[in-house]
Structure 1
Amino acid sequence: MSIAKRLASQTAIYGVSSIVGRVLNTFLVPVYTARFAAAEYGIVTGLYAYVSFLNVLFTYGMETTYFRFANRPDTNRQELYDRVMTLLLISSVVLTAVLAALARPLMSLIDLPPGHEQYAVWIALILGLDAVAAIPFARLRLENKARKFATIRTANILVNVGLNLFFIVFCPDVLAGKYLAGLRPLVESVYNPTIGVGYVFLSNLVASGVTLLLLGRELLDFRPRLNLEPLRPLLRYAYPILLMGMAGMVNEMLDRVMLPKWLPKGFYPGQSNLTAVGIYGACYKISILMSLVIQAFKYAAEPFFFAQSTEKNSPRTFALVLKWFTLCCAMLFVGVSVNVDLVARIFLQRAEYRQGLSVVPVLLLANLFLGVYWNLSVWFKLTDKTYFGTYLGFAGAILTVALNFLLIPLLGYMGSAIATLACYFMMAALCWWLGERHFPVPYPVMRLLAWLTIAVGVVAVSWWTPVAAGWARYGFHALLTLGFVALVAAVEGRRLRTI
């Protein structure tokens, strides 16, 4: 099987869990926006913003570190697995206990009244369980056990989605007498209406526990090894990745942390700041369609890039991968942005959420550049110069903080979206510029920029051309989308067939 076909095949398998599975999870957004007011959904958005930072802290770069050291010829993979697992297990127990003890201060960060401390305890347990599962999942990827990886990930999503539907839709409907009234006594025994949005976190916790059980074989293969000396090179490699991950979370999540604190009171008439966070968070979920593709690609490509690093033609391979990755993401950007009205009717059930739709194209383009940056970052991972990733991440974080600080009071959540786009574009540009000096790869930069410019132009035409609402508007948008896809196929299709 050719290199390109092998990568595409593994990406498709991983997509079962990271795209198909997470799409099921994403389709919970219509449930949340139908059942919860924007202010309630703002609680979920706000808490999961902090979870993203803490998730980086709990794993502190050990997944990438494990891949790097496992691919060295003199490495005993079993000993490496045991050492990394021992380290993560100890740190996860300690961090989970500390976080659970700080439940009340964490709740105050998003202005929740006392009485919801259990949310923070559940989040602490979720983070601990997911951190322990991280290296067994990495081992499955390293050993090319994509189907098992995909099966377990999909099971996690199905359990999570199923419990969300049970607690947020089924139980309230039975109690309200909409159907199956005979099950009311059973439902009353397992469902507590006062938990409310807390069932989002509780469902996640149960799903994380099930995942750990399904990884039983990988966990039973682990033998504790606590020898500090062999761990030092691992930690030296990992700590820049930890810092880079924290900076990355600033770039990705700081807007939802800053919005409730920095948005002027009454900026959106008749809405609280927590409502604004809920609206922005729901609209951000639409843009995550781009990051789902990136995540699926990343699962397959990270071990692939390391394995290809010793090949003579690896720079040409990396350039080819980036080109087609960018073109596929550009088509997704156009498809969602142009047809965002139709997409919003599926995802955003209440009209109050649709006030923020203008941020969706900006955030989709931002996530596209994040994917480009991730592709370009292969040079400093392969050359063991991960500190460059730290520098780039912190540069992006500084820009993110500054732009959110300046733009939120002026533009509200659109300011946060623009800050995200500016950050990821700058990081991608700087990463390419530095890579040209340390690990030259013949990326078709000007050609890709031309395609992205055309894609932005198509989206702008769709947004600013006055067409009456209804089927005429949907038809016009469909033609624009198909026209862009046909243009890409006509210009680049012959090259793809040749490859």
Structure 2
Amino acid sequence: MTLGAQMRRLGKHSAIYGLGGIVSRVIAVFLLPLYTRYLEPSDFGAVGLLVGLSAVLVTILRAGISSAFFRFYFDAKDTAERLLVLRTSFWFTMASASAGLVAGVLLAEPLADLLLLDEPNLVRAAFVGIWAQMNYEQLTSLFRVEERSGLFVLASLANIAVTIATTLVLVVGYDQGALGVIVGNFTGTLAVYLALLGYRRAQLGLQLSRPLLREMNRFGVPLVPSALALIALNFGDRF
């Protein structure tokens, strides 16, 4: 393939991937007046705090496996090796996210006290969101390595649509405040993830290679500190 053809392919996929992000940001702007009308200042604080906490915990629990997935998938010599990379990444992510979810549910009350939150259910909902986000992003990354950008954006737009609808119902219809925002945000992610599980069921067998996982962790874990530093830059001015 010529350099020009490669650049055109890169530009095409980049534009399509960017579409989902643009749509989500435009919608966020239109939803802002609704949030300011139905949420108290304390709700904004709680949501912002839990979003920041979730970003940190997702990065730690993921242990760089998402970056390692891309590298080892393209390094694989054949379909069988690529499938092993996928399954190892999938089950590591599932186990890590589930361990975080269990810990978050069990420790919700002391964590709520530590974060000065009145409602432990906010913490529980945030950890469900962490579980959904980690597993959803692992499956949608498969569309990226397959260069199926259209399906990636379709999943993203479906996620956004369900998220908006659920958030409107919970915040406006049921006056759930911060809890409604958090639950609404992960409902779309969780719904699309469950659909993707069905779509990918033939590829997600019970297979995990410990030697491969060690190699992937050796590559991915050193990337965690820089990711945490970037989160600190993004969220540091909010607290």
Partner of residue 64, structure 1: 67
**What amino acid sits opposite 1:103 in the alignment?**
A
Note if contact 1:152-1:214 (Cα within 8 Å) is conserved in structure 2.
no
* Shift of residue 220, structure 1, vs aligned partner: 4.2
Give the gaps of 5 or more residues in structure 1: 172-190, 260-499
| Alignment partner, residue 197 of structure 1 | 178
CA contact (8 A) 2:84 2:208 kept: no
Aligned positions of 1:35-54 closer than 5 A? 35-54=38-57
Determine the structure 2 residue equivalent to 1:476: none
1:89 matched to 2:94: yes
Q: What TM-score do the two structures reach when normalised by structure 1? A: 0.44
The alpha-carbon distance between structure 1 residues 220 and 119, as it changes in their structure 2 partners (threshold 3 A), is farther
Correspondence 1:164 to 2:146: no
Give the match for residue 207 of structure 1: 188
How far apart in 2 are the matches of 1:26 and 1:108? 32
Q: Which one of the candidate residues 181, 202, 205 is aligned to 1:223? A: 205
Judged with a 3 Å threshold, the aligned counterparts in structure 2 of structure 1 residues 220 and 74 are, in CA distance, closer, same or farther, namely closer
Report the AA paired with residue 206 of structure 2: P
Are residues 1:28 and 2:31 paired?
yes
Determine if contact 1:156/1:207 at 8 Å carries over to the other structure: yes
Deviation at 1:237, TM superposition (A): 0.1
Cα separation, 1, equivalents of 2:214 and 2:170: 46
Q: Find the aligned partners of 1:109 and 1:23 in 2 and give their Cα distance.
A: 34
Q: Is the 8 A contact 1:16 1:154 kept in 2?
A: no
Going from structure 1 to structure 2, the CA distance change for 1:139 and 1:32 (only over 3 Å counts) comes to: same
Q: Is the 8 A contact 2:88 2:207 kept in 1?
A: yes
Which residue number in structure 2 is paired with residue 237 of structure 1? Answer: 219
Partner of residue 250, structure 1: 232
Per-residue deviation at 1:250? Answer: 1.9
**1:124 match: secondary structure:** helix
SS at match of 2:77: coil
- Cα deviation, 1:56-106, whole Å, max 9, x if unaligned, reads 123221111111111115361111111111111111111110111111222
Q: Is the 8 A contact 1:92 1:132 kept in 2?
A: yes
Tell me what 2:13 maps to.
10
What CA deviation, in whole Å up to 9, does each residue of 1:232-256 have, x standing for no partner?
1111001011222222222222333
Q: Secondary structure at the match of 1:74?
A: coil
Q: Which has the larger radius of gyration?
A: 1
CA deviation string 1:433-492 (max 9, x = no partner): xxxxxxxxxxxxxxxxxxxxxxxxxxxxxxxxxxxxxxxxxxxxxxxxxxxxxxxxxxxx
CA-based RMSD: 1.9
Query: Is 1:118 aligned to residue 99 of structure 2?
Result: no
**Counterpart AA for 1:251:** L
1 CA distance for matches of 2:6 and 2:208?
38
Letter in 1 for 2:177: G
In 2, distance between residues paired with 1:219 and 1:22?
32
* Aligned residue number for residue 321 of structure 1: none
Mapping 1:306-345, distance limit 5 Å:
none
Alignment CA distance shift 1:9-1:46 (3 Å): same
Contact 2:68 2:216 in 1 (8 A): yes
Paired amino acid for 1:31: L
Q: Looking at both structures, which has the greater relative contact order when contacts are Cα pairs under 8 Å and sequence separation is at least 6?
A: 2
Cα distance in 2 for residues equivalent to 1:73 and 1:119: 42
Q: CA deviation at 1:26?
A: 4.1
How many residues are aligned here?
233
Higher helix share: 2
Per the alignment, residue 151 of structure 2 pairs with 148
